[in-house]
A = this chain, B = another copy of it.
């Protein structure tokens, strides 16, 4: 089960202090590059204008903790990087419990969870702490220590291009800005890494593939600001990969357009693999599809997920871990659904029969020679594929009409093509 391997890979990335900039991102990309040696690492300098945004200062944390009145070190960044509010400014001072409370974040309804909090664009400092621990704090003088730096550096992302027979590209994006959380988000880069590895292992991919491992929002905006026109001219389908590692559900979130080929493929694959999958709407968006599908960008990017961000209790807390939430089975399922979706795109040709009227299948051994009353269900699907192969419908269109998984049609189409009864075209042809 490849899920085991992906899970192990995710574990190796767990401890790094990922944020929208900084060495945590670089280290993460460096480990991914061990699997994908051709991964390019791109740096976008602080201060660069990217559409309506500006690349922020780079953030670096050397250490951060609180010392209690009794001298105990708590909320240690080195113990769990979630303890520190993302992009916290440096501070070192003593203050009362009351004063400290203003800079503590906890979740009263999840007393054991450390929440995940960031303040990228406003100078703040703060610690995230479990409600349980917060409630146990005694009056007295506390020492807060944050040895962080905010400096002109850069935002870092990784990009991998896999050349296929066609210049048309399938675009796959995932993000590398979340610290120690599993479903959202180590599952995305981990699964994506292995999808890229699988595509590299295949000879003769029909399409070219472009993978980006980026920080969410500012990263995708930065990437789009540099590549918008190119992407709009090349990308024919794609996926935003996030929350793809738990074993509880499957989910789909559409592109803004909602009727792109990526949407059709996502729904088809999920329907046949996990009929009770959750189908969200564009109104439920919340990941980088917000940028990829924004007005004027409009890339055909859909999301296939396991349990969606915001839809599971552990979301954006320390409880979203690689033990009870993200599992080898969960990653395996996510990987296989995404792989299946890509296969469907690769094989989504437009079949057209080469003869008028029904072909004489019998003389080719493809049809029973004795006509009886009994139902010929074994050749029915072949006849259905033939009858819809008018050159205007894709394999996926035909599978939807016949209400079968499209992969059941592949061997039949191959057999008919071998007998020269069918030609598979890359594009629709007139009937």
Contacts and interface: CB of A to CB of B under 8 A. Distances in A.
B358 A294 contact: yes
**Which DSSP category, helix, strand, loop or mixed, fits chain A's interface?**
loop
Given A369-B122, A373-B316, A356 B387 contact: no
A116 B373 CA distance: 8
A52 interface: yes
A121 B363 CA distance: 8
Nearest to A390: B295
**Oligomeric state, in copies:** 3
Contact of A362 (B116, B121, B294, B317): B121
A171 interface: no
Interface stretch (A32-40, A207-215, A221-229): A221-229
Contact of A294 (B115, B116, B297, B387): B387
Contacts of A298: 390, 431
Contacts of A355: 51-52
A107 to B, nearest CB: 7
Contact of A360 (B52, B220, B224): B52
A357 B117 contact: no
B296 A431 contact: yes
A335 interface: no
Interface residues of A, number: 61
Nearest to A228: B356
Contacts of A384: 283
A117 B370 contact: yes
Given A52-B355, A357-B52, A371 B117 contact: yes
Contacts of A105: 372
Interface in A340-373: 352-353, 355-360, 362-363, 369-373
A375 B107 CA distance: 14
A339 interface: no
10 contacts: A52-B356, A86-B371, A115-B373, A116-B373, A117-B371, A118-B370, A124-B369, A221-B357, A221-B358, A290-B387
The 10 closest A-B pairs by CB, nearest first: A295-B390, A122-B369, A52-B355, A52-B359, A291-B357, A316-B373, A221-B357, A51-B356, A118-B371, A53-B360
